[in-house]
Amino acid sequence: MPATPAPPASPGLQGSQAPSPSATPTPASASAHGVPRWLVALLAVASGMTAANLYYAQPLLSSLRDVFHISTATAGALITLTQVGYVIGMLFLVPLGDRLEKRNLITVLLTVTTLALAAAGLATNFPMLLAASLVAGATSVVAQIVVPFAASLAPDHARGRIVGRVMSGLLTGILLSRTLSSLVSDAAGWRVVYLGSAALMALLAVALHLALPRQTPTTTVPYGEVLRSTLQLVRRHPALVRRGLYQAAMFGAFSAFWTTISYVLTGPHFHYSPVGVGLFALVGAAGAAVAPLAGQWADRGLGRPMTGVAFVVVAVAFAVAGLGGHHIALLALAAVLLDMGVQTSLILGQHTVYQLDPAARARLNSAFIATFFIGGALGSQLASVAYHAAGWPAVAAFGTALPVLALLYWLTERPASRTAATR
């Protein structure tokens, strides 16, 4: 059933309550695009903090492998299962962003995330840690409710830039999560990583509930119909499927690199501590600087050509990583190129997807993110298996193949698809 039309952006910003003085755009607080700067900053921080929950475990895999006496491939399953949880949340929870009032939905999800992370921090065995991570991954989809929230507030001519700014917060959170996790685990143990994140989620739940404007749901159809309508959107919009598959390949490459690089850095060639692994991850954070630029490219109609460039950049990144397995400078260069390419493709893809149906952005985002997180989950697990079987060169070859396949698929875009991709 088609969703009812979305409310205008300004009522969505003010909601049903009288706006507070800080929520009213002023020369000091409003951006040039009509959305308060403080609100864009809050949404960016919220996106980064919740998305970080998916990646705290990556630099801890070597430690967790020793603590729970498991194999490398089994330890990698922690990342895979967390991402599987995220896919479940994308499919069954994010569509509720069109059906329910978003502020209350965000508060409930963050409360569950808090409890799940606390359970992970108190886990007495690896299966318990896996189960808690699955739940935490599912409810950390708050990041993907926040991004469409920002898109709905932005005017059409600036949507790419506003989404790019929020996404820069999300991507920075993902990249810095590894460093924070490494530093905290080295100082206080891996359990404090999870318990500390639980405390942060509790604080974030309170902050967002107090600060976010209420936003009227865009549809009143029953939950089951909302889920069915998500499938209808997939069938109705080929650009949604295409963009999802593009990003599945890119995120698979991203996950392959960051899931296995800790094994390389802690191995016989580098002997890095968990802190060293975390500091290495800071290098990748430089790639977040491309997010606002990618938003501008999207607003200028450059989605298609820059998508092709992003695929090439990621393929080159893995080629460099394969050659530089014993050279930290080359691995660092590969990390920066990888993150820049993946982030560019993601923001261009989201810009395209959000243009397809303004009244169904949460459901469109649900299908888009779920598709490429399946790619990420597969990338994590297959890379762990490849590293266990044949070492870093096998991971580099696997990572190179994924963007090359995406590039070949990109070359098949028909004119109608190209028009949609550059809107």
> Mind listing the pLDDT tens digit for each residue in 90-138?
889 988 888 888 889 999 999 999 999 999 999 999 999 999 999 999 9
Predicted confidence (pLDDT) at residue 417 exceeds the cutoff of 70: no
CATH of the domain at 168: 1.20.1250.20
Does the residue 21 lie in any domain? no
Does the residue 8 lie in any domain? no
261: Cα within 13 Å, side-chain hemisphere: 30
What's the pLDDT at 219?
78
Predicted confidence (pLDDT) at residue 70 exceeds the cutoff of 80: yes
Domain count, the chain: 1
Q: Give burial (CB, 10 Å; 0-12/13-18/19+) of 422.
A: buried
Does the residue 11 lie in any domain? no
Does the residue 136 lie in any domain? yes
Element (H, E) at 174: helix 159-188
Does the residue 248 lie in any domain? yes
Report residue 5's pLDDT band, with 50, 70 and 90 as the boundaries.
Answer: very low
Does the residue 122 lie in any domain? yes
Distance CA(127)–CA(414), nearest Å, equals 47
What's the pLDDT at 301?
87
The whole-model pTM stands at 0.73
What's the pLDDT at 296?
84
Share of the chain above pLDDT 70, in %: 89
Distance CA(386)–CA(395), nearest Å, equals 6
Which DSSP symbol is given to 36?
B
Token readout for 373 is 């997180």
What's the pLDDT at 418?
52
Mean pLDDT value of segment 53-75: 85
> Mind listing the pLDDT tens digit for each residue in 301-350?
888 999 999 999 999 999 999 987 788 999 999 999 998 999 899 989 98
Averaged confidence pLDDT in the chain: 83
> Mind listing the pLDDT tens digit for each residue in 193-214?
999 999 999 999 999 898 888 8
What's the pLDDT at 33?
58
Does the residue 169 lie in any domain? yes
- Which range marks the domain in which residue 47 is found? 28-421
Mean pLDDT value of segment 12-16: 35
Distance CA(386)–CA(409), nearest Å, equals 24
- 198: phi then psi, degrees, rounded to nearest 5: -60, -40
Does the residue 19 lie in any domain? no
3-state secondary structure of 30: strand
Distance CA(54)–CA(201), nearest Å, equals 13
> Mind listing the pLDDT tens digit for each residue in 217-236?
877 888 888 888 888 999 99
Predicted confidence (pLDDT) at residue 420 exceeds the cutoff of 60: no
Predicted confidence (pLDDT) at residue 392 exceeds the cutoff of 90: yes
Nearest by Cα to 87 from 144, 129, 44: 144
